[in-house]
Structure 1
């Protein structure tokens, strides 16, 4: 398909959208069709480079060893949260990784294996990234002032850099195992270096343990001496305080406290004895006061006399009772027995009086002893209260002395442990997989290199293709014309093949794409300007050389071939390309009519077959200001005269960019057709020129893309438009008819053509 007609959206504007447009897959596919050669070339070049790299690259061998970092036994009973333990373990393992790749371990391996004296190891080729880093270091060293260094140290550092560039250490999953890998062109050396790194790491751990233990032991020894002095000082302070305040202790207690305890015990015993003596005395006194010997119970008194008299009294009483029962109470024997009983009673109470005096004496002695003990306890309690106030300070001194003794004992124990550890240091890491000599190469990996080459080729091709699309700031499709300028798109004019008559191609090939686009321009003019009235249509371009004159003459001849009275005027007075192409022998033209007042009919040229009339233009030295000539009243009168005799007056105008002639003639023109060269004229230039002249933009009937390469246009098809669709071929014929019309122009009188 060769044309697209988009409605005029009104005043010239650049379309904007508040939101990003959706991705157009058809446009992306069109871009891929246009740029696939660049992408394919990039992939091919990168793939070739990858193959060359594989052919000439040195084979690499990787030896590996595994080191297990044992969990610290002191952390088994750690009470922190699981998250804290995980974070600390992660940091601990990562720290060991850094130790393995550190300079200290690396230099130990270099010295042990004498790598700095191995010419093969020192002259190893560097990769691209390594070369870039080396060059960067060399550049930065130019601006720094390195200190003096011996040749030996420089060699060791260079060997260390080679080792570290080819050494990698990583943690295996989430375990405590570190995998150490070294890659080199010599498999034996690779295994030696990997094993040397592991052994150097273990030796470094042992040395670090030994050094830490030694430093801790030394510090503990100094601290232990300080604690010993403090403990002795605190003990002396306790003893001095005791002596100053009379706080004598025995069996762990103060003597005053022991005495007070014993006195309290004696006081309690004395109280018990006093109570017992008082009870005995009171009981005996109650018997005496009662005067009843029967109240005396055997065993209650310790007196044998009282007990014997009481027994005799009871025996006499029994006999008296028996005799009285037999002989009567007045019997002599009864009376004698009763007299004996009275005698016994008197003797009993006399003895009880003596015993009562003895009990009273014992009670008084016990009470006196109790009172004496109570007085002693009261005095001792006062002394103890005074001692307790001082005892608080003593106990504080004793606690301080005890704390120093405990701390001293702990440090002594720690010091003995550190001495033992210093003699037998144990590391928390061990090798669980020895480094073996690799039998297979580890690099370069062919599949990875080829895949990377293809990926880089695609990335490079995509970048170049994107750059190519971005740099393509020219008009290629009618959709671009409508979006960028807001003007209707009248169609595409294909590039005319070599050997064909360019100025009459539309008439010679009436069913061609060329002619169809010009018919589209005619319909646009008829619809916009009206079918019945004569129309003045200007054909212009933005830049010179875009083919506006070719389009103008073909448009005019096509109109004339359709029996429309048509006049074409070469109004490009500074560069009359149209006149040179179709009427090179013309001696006078537009300037002579306007300046010299020559009648129009005298200067018109007519084509025999189409009856197309033409007013040529001839260069004149005396017309420097062509814009004033085109804007003059005489030019307006000329156009009015032409409109009276012709249906279409076509003006071949100068381009917009170099001169202002088009702006000058705009008031006299009914509509403009702008010709833009396909793939050559920048969009921004067209947009700028049309925005700079609103009056011209308002009258613009549309834009024609000229010199379009139809083969390349197939690559710009979108969802709604497919250029070069084979289904359209039945509607177009590029072959010329058997009988071609004449192309000569000759002078003739102005007359209405048939």
Structure 2
């Protein structure tokens, strides 16, 4: 709640709601306030929306219909792979950059010129000079007004450089004159739209024009021109590659023949003969090395067998049993196996007899002699096998040494030609490289010739253009909706600006909150005075004013009330003081006097001429003439008149000049008990009221209440909380 005057204080206490608010203080969203603000500015928003719709209708009526036709082109990957098979220069992967390059080719001036030549658009006046709508004319007119300013603000082009002698060079200006063909191509490019469908290899080519048939023809021609451009490009690449390949084949062929001849001459000169794909010395060394490995393995096997037999023989000489006799492969082992079998059986029988009958048994003694004989026979066989193993080992060792000597001799002979063999390998590698290059160029030339005979295009038209059935512009629904939405946004913006700006006083609660002054209520304007709500509101406000007067009434001595308008507004008539006087007279006052101290306006009759029961009226001049014959009021006269009036009347209502007028309402010095301030509804701000009270200290000291006059009740409700006491009181 704001205080109207900070340096001075009025006589009454402002209304406060601190005792009623028991909630915690803090920022809260005032949705009710937002709703009331939206309700107040609804008319402005509706006007702006209607204006936007009207402007949209004018734009639609002033626009020329435009049509669109398009073709859909596919960059075929299967055909691209086929080109890779028959092309000397494989096609690159269809990446994003490649697709964007194809889009720029379609937008290029070269392709536009092909379409112009195919349809003779440079000779078509309707194409070169399309119709212009009223909307475009308005835009062009605005641009014609702003272009000179833009050119004036643009920097000047740099001057021509001076020559060596200080004189500016005046070279010939190149001829940049644009022909009809160039203008037609530029128009095509301006109205052409090329886009990629998502992340696919499909390109959509569309053209916008004013003639649906010509628009369709242009779109179709663009598709076929792009397809032919791709075919010609592939064919040109193949022809250029063929010429280059033929030139390279002649050079590579001569180089390959020279390299092969150099290899053969080097072989003959150095005796490097080749047998079964390799040199003779190399084959000999390979065979000797292989035989030496085999001989070494045989020697190692013979030595292992000899060591085993010598170990068994040493064991037998030490008295141990001979378990087996290893023989070389190919020897008869049946005799050794028979002896070993008889030896084992004799030992088993001897053991049983010795266990049953003892070692002294004659049969046991015979078996012991037999076992000894069999052991001697096995030792003899082992000695013979050991001698045979020594012979085999000696032979294998001798063969290994012989092969090793032969290999060493062959290696010494071959080491003398290491440098020759290295040079030969270099010459063979050079000859093989030239031969491989020659075969590659020959294969490329073959597929290039095939491509020229079988032209392939990676571009395929999958959807041709059709004649459009309706115009794409102006889009009536979209334009209307956009105009309405822009109007609503503009209205909302203006309404927000109006709401953020200080608002005039339109409700009693606003008067109390913004100025800190008590307000008795609203008095409706004449248009609302005859309605039921208007009558109820007026009666309620008059009742509050009467109650404010009665609280200060001192019957017997008379009550002087100053009724002062804030400004000289048309809303302030004599009805409110008259009705207040009637209410006071009907409420118990013996007599009520109305004094009109306001000069009548031009053409206005003298007020308060009708006398009613308990209610009297008189003008200021007539009052003083009646009292003492004076024509002008003065301080002594006012005191005497006031004392006389207090004795004769219970209540005296003095209607004075405006508070904010050139003459202060308390300048005559009326000795009043209280004052009522009449504020015009919706015309002044709270600061105006408080500033006026600062300059009128005497009036402020006796101010009891205020009243808002000339209220538009329907508009006033928009500034009150829905369902509040004040809002419901308007319907009482």
Q: How does 1:10-159 map to 2 (within 5 A)?
A: 18-22=27-31, 27=36, 30-31=39-40, 34-35=43-44, 38=47, 41-42=50-51, 45-46=54-55, 49=58, 52-53=61-62, 62-71=68-77, 73=79, 96-126=102-132, 128=135, 132=139, 135=143, 143=154, 153-159=178-184
The answer to whether the Cα contact below 8 Å between 2:558 and 2:652 also exists between their aligned partners in 1 is no
The answer to whether the Cα contact below 8 Å between 2:578 and 2:594 also exists between their aligned partners in 1 is no
Q: What's 1:377 paired with? A: 407
Point out where structure 1 has 5 or more consecutive residues left out of the alignment.
1-5, 79-86, 276-299, 301-362, 617-650, 732-754
Larger deviation, residues 683-692 vs 706-715? 683-692
Q: What's 2:681 paired with? A: 678
Q: What's 2:471 paired with? A: 442
Q: CA RMSD in A?
A: 6.9
Q: What's 2:223 paired with? A: 198
**Cα shift readout 1:262-310 (whole Å, capped 9, x = no counterpart):** 44467689999999xxxxxxxxxxxxxxxxxxxxxxxx9xxxxxxxxxx
**Cα shift readout 1:556-596 (whole Å, capped 9, x = no counterpart):** 736753446989999999x9xxxx97525558799832xxx
C-alpha distance in 1 between matches for 2:269 and 2:689: 115
SS in 1 for 2:282: helix
Distance change >3 Å, CA 274–CA 539, structure 1 → 2? closer
Distance change >3 Å, CA 248–CA 725, structure 1 → 2? same
**Cα shift readout 1:12-54 (whole Å, capped 9, x = no counterpart):** xxxx97354337785377347644862685377347536745x
1:8 and 2:16 aligned? yes
- Which of 474, 479, 489 is equivalent to 1:452? 479
1:557 and 2:586 aligned? no
- Which of 526, 530, 544 is equivalent to 1:520? 544
Larger deviation, residues 607-616 vs 19-28? 607-616
C-alpha distance in 2 between matches for 1:718 and 1:237: 111
- Which of 656, 659, 674 is equivalent to 1:654? 659
Residue 124 of structure 1, CA deviation: 0.5
C-alpha distance in 2 between matches for 1:222 and 1:534: 132
What is the aligned residue count? 574
The answer to whether the Cα contact below 8 Å between 1:42 and 1:458 also exists between their aligned partners in 2 is no
Q: How does 1:661-700 map to 2 (within 5 A)?
A: 675-682=678-685
Q: What's 2:340 paired with? A: none
The answer to whether the Cα contact below 8 Å between 2:242 and 2:445 also exists between their aligned partners in 1 is yes
Residue 95 of structure 1, CA deviation: 5.2
Q: What's 1:592 paired with? A: 634
The answer to whether the Cα contact below 8 Å between 2:524 and 2:709 also exists between their aligned partners in 1 is yes
SS in 2 for 1:205: helix
Distance change >3 Å, CA 365–CA 686, structure 1 → 2? same
Distance change >3 Å, CA 694–CA 385, structure 1 → 2? farther
Distance change >3 Å, CA 51–CA 430, structure 1 → 2? closer
C-alpha distance in 1 between matches for 2:675 and 2:434: 110
Of structures 1 and 2, the larger Rg is shown by 1
Q: How does 1:338-357 map to 2 (within 5 A)?
A: none
Q: What's 1:344 paired with? A: none
Distance change >3 Å, CA 429–CA 264, structure 1 → 2? closer
The answer to whether the Cα contact below 8 Å between 2:563 and 2:577 also exists between their aligned partners in 1 is no
- Which of 633, 637, 640 is equivalent to 1:601? 640
Q: What's 2:520 paired with? A: 490
SS in 2 for 1:124: coil
Distance change >3 Å, CA 497–CA 394, structure 1 → 2? same
Distance change >3 Å, CA 45–CA 187, structure 1 → 2? closer
SS in 2 for 1:196: helix
**Cα shift readout 1:328-357 (whole Å, capped 9, x = no counterpart):** xxxxxxxxxxxxxxxxxxxxxxxxxxxxxx
Distance change >3 Å, CA 92–CA 24, structure 1 → 2? farther
Q: How does 1:510-549 map to 2 (within 5 A)?
A: 513-521=537-545, 523=547, 545=569
Q: How does 1:410-449 map to 2 (within 5 A)?
A: 410=440, 413-414=443-444, 417-418=447-448, 420-421=450-451, 425-435=455-465, 440-442=469-471, 448-449=475-476
- Which of 282, 285, 291 is equivalent to 1:257? 282
**Cα shift readout 1:648-670 (whole Å, capped 9, x = no counterpart):** xxx977239x89999xx9xx999
Larger deviation, residues 715-724 vs 408-417? 715-724
Q: What's 2:652 paired with? A: 613
Structure-1-length-normalised TM-score? 0.54
SS in 2 for 1:476: coil
The answer to whether the Cα contact below 8 Å between 1:560 and 1:611 also exists between their aligned partners in 2 is no
Residue 120 of structure 1, CA deviation: 1.4
Q: How does 1:259-274 map to 2 (within 5 A)?
A: 259-264=284-289
Residue 253 of structure 1, CA deviation: 3.8
**Cα shift readout 1:114-151 (whole Å, capped 9, x = no counterpart):** 21221111110246479859949967678488997868
Distance change >3 Å, CA 68–CA 551, structure 1 → 2? same
Distance change >3 Å, CA 52–CA 271, structure 1 → 2? closer
C-alpha distance in 2 between matches for 1:698 and 1:256: 139
C-alpha distance in 2 between matches for 1:613 and 1:583: 13
Structure-2-length-normalised TM-score? 0.55
Q: What's 2:710 paired with? A: 707
SS in 1 for 2:487: helix
SS in 1 for 2:185: helix
Distance change >3 Å, CA 492–CA 93, structure 1 → 2? farther
SS in 1 for 2:634: helix
Q: What's 2:343 paired with? A: none
C-alpha distance in 2 between matches for 1:375 and 1:116: 98
C-alpha distance in 2 between matches for 1:131 and 1:112: 35
**Cα shift readout 1:632-652 (whole Å, capped 9, x = no counterpart):** xxxxxxxxxxxxxxxxxxx97
The answer to whether the Cα contact below 8 Å between 1:31 and 1:716 also exists between their aligned partners in 2 is yes
C-alpha distance in 2 between matches for 1:701 and 1:239: 134
Distance change >3 Å, CA 255–CA 612, structure 1 → 2? same
C-alpha distance in 2 between matches for 1:412 and 1:234: 18
Distance change >3 Å, CA 710–CA 157, structure 1 → 2? farther
C-alpha distance in 2 between matches for 1:219 and 1:722: 99
**Cα shift readout 1:453-486 (whole Å, capped 9, x = no counterpart):** 3652464366347636744743334455566556
Point out where structure 2 has 5 or more consecutive residues left out of the alignment.
1-13, 20-24, 85-92, 159-172, 301-330, 332-392, 608-618
Distance change >3 Å, CA 77–CA 608, structure 1 → 2? farther
Residue 612 of structure 1, CA deviation: 3.8
C-alpha distance in 2 between matches for 1:378 and 1:263: 9
C-alpha distance in 1 between matches for 2:273 and 2:32: 102
**Cα shift readout 1:150-197 (whole Å, capped 9, x = no counterpart):** 686253343234334544455668765545444444444233212221
C-alpha distance in 2 between matches for 1:479 and 1:222: 102
